[in-house]
Amino acid sequence: MSRVADFAYRLFPEKKKEYRPLTPLTYPANRHKLHDVKAVIIDVYGTLINYWREEFSKKEAKEHCLEEAFAKTAQYFQFSEILRQMNPADEPQRTLRDFYHGLIALNHEKSVRKGIEFPEVRIEEVWEVVIMMLARHGYDPATLNLGDNKELARCIAWYYNFFSLGCNLYEGVVSGLSALKKKNIKIGILADAQFYTPIDLTLLVREQSGDALDDYLELFNVDLLFYSYEQGYTKANQGLYRKLFDALYEHQILPSQTVFVGNDLLLDIRPADQIGMRTALFTGDDKSAFLHDVGGEVIPDITFDSWEELPEKLLFNEENKRK
């Protein structure tokens, strides 16, 4: 187990679980079921992981919530006082927030100048720079016994993300995916994500399965996992889909035999449909089902509001469409 995975494993139980009542969204679909499905490729945040918190409904409340996560991070990793010394005119969490977002913006700007469309950062590299800035003002990372700066940065990145967002699997994810596997359907991921996403997925799969599953890879095909942080660009860049199609062809699976599952009409459903995949919109949570300004214009092949419902709508065999 890596240092950050061990760190996450130890702290995972400490976070109070936030179970909010979910309200499904009603949205039209072209079909009730899909046949000849050989692969299902899934988005993560808002589709598998319920990241939404009640505070996110209002701008001021959301900003306060995220500032609290920065404050918690600064306190846990013992650099609140140094941040206060670096910028006496503001609270440490706000100084940390400004560093964080400023470095991300700078990273994006550099990538755009290199011609990268829809760039993605490696968030641990942002935190490495923050550590170096703090070290110039007396911060000693060694006192935390969390490894070198790279390992410490990964621990900080995981910690801030874990305590800033909600972090639960939607109900029925494990049983739904297990049912798809039993149908011989290959399961993959294509998502905007960071290095900590697989760590969280493993912890959440263990939790929801009651430790019957030890690793999220017991549900997913390892060669069908495509995360934005690994490629340097987000899923809005067609490069992720090209890599996915190459991997599907290795399994002798066509895009038309593949269903992309997401919660966003603009970022998930429309691009997948435009390149020949079939689509499924998760509508089980009206807070994470994003219609943007294309509601009514973009129609998924199917919708589902429960993960246990999805396997009933995806049929592996061609002949089943006549039954």
Kindly list the structural domains of the chain, giving each domain's residue range(s) and its CATH number in brackets, ordered by start.
3-52+167-322 (3.40.50.1000), 71-164 (no CATH)
The single residue listed with the structure tokens 């943007």 is 292
Show the beta-strand stretches assigned E in 207-277.
225-227, 258-262
Question: 39 exposed, middle or buried (CB, 10 Å; 0-12, 13-18, 19+)?
Answer: buried
Record the tokens describing residue 150, joined without a space: 């790279």
Cβ within 8 Å of residue 171, ≥6 positions away: 306, 307
pLDDT value, residue 295? 87
Tens digits of pLDDT across the chain (323 residues): 699 999 999 999 987 777 889 999 999 999 999 999 999 999 999 999 999 999 999 999 999 999 999 999 999 999 999 999 999 999 999 999 999 999 999 999 999 999 999 999 999 999 999 999 999 999 999 989 999 999 999 999 999 999 999 999 999 999 999 999 999 999 999 999 999 999 999 999 999 999 999 999 999 999 999 999 999 999 999 999 999 999 999 999 999 999 999 999 999 999 999 999 999 999 999 999 999 999 899 999 999 999 999 999 999 887 544 44
φ, ψ of residue 293 in degrees (nearest 5) = -105, 20
pTM value surpassing 0.85: yes
Give the number of residues written for the chain: 323
pLDDT value, residue 321? 43
Count CB-CB contacts under 10 A for residue 15. Answer: 12
pLDDT value, residue 319? 54
